[in-house]
Amino acid sequence: MVSLRPALAALAAMLLLAAPAMAAAPPPVKVGRAMLTFYWMADESAARYRGGPDAVLRDARGRVIAHTTRKFRRALVLEGTGWLKDGRAVTYDRKKGGEHRFRIARTRYGYSVTGRALVPFRTAAVDPRFVKLGSKIYIPQLKGARLPDGTIHDGVFVATDRGHFRGRHVDLFVGDGPRGARPFKQRGYGSRSHVTVYLVE
């Protein structure tokens, strides 16, 4: 019978040697203070958007996606993403010929400007001059927030979206309506409060 002790001893030695390297992850780099806001899915079925259709949503090619209200179209431009009454997710695409254009998303919450799927409580919109798009950021004040599914937030977000603003500002995507911001408001950080941003990657 072949003894496994030499092999186990060798593996243990390798793990011990690798441990310092594994533990030596670079510390977060402080980017600075920033204003905190939230954005969410605009829902066409909400009472605030009721009324007869007086606006058209078109894609980049000019094809009609849906007829809706002007209020809902404005909300789509502001929030960047929303749900139609029929359940389809629509994402703001671009302005073409002086008209806002949209596209149907194949994900539940639509897409960011970088083409990544929006993820509630994880996606952040930023000014690329403040935080580079694609960066992972850490906001210590939001660590420990209890999310709707019962999990505890680690304070880490991914800056894959660009906001309609400039400067030191972080806009967090909270999913289904303004109530999604409650976990952070309960920690004392509501819209237009200020937090500290660190660059993790």
Average per-residue pLDDT for the chain: 89
pLDDT in tens, 20-35: 544 456 688 999 999 9
- Cβ burial of 119 (10 Å; 0-12, 13-18, 19+) is middle
Alpha-carbon gap, residue 201 to 199, rounded angstroms = 6
Q: What are phi and psi of 44, to 5 degrees?
A: -60, -25
Burial of 40 (0-12, 13-18, 19+ CB in 10 A): buried
CB 198 within 8 A of CB 137: yes
Please state the length of the chain: 201
Name the class of domain 29-40+112-199.
Answer: mainly beta
- The full set of domain ranges for the chain reads 29-40+112-199, 42-105
**What pTM did the predictor assign?**
0.84
Task: Look at residue 22 in the predicted model and tell me its pLDDT.
Answer: 44
Query: How does pLDDT run across 142-166, given as a tens digit for each residue?
Result: 999 999 999 999 999 999 999 889 9
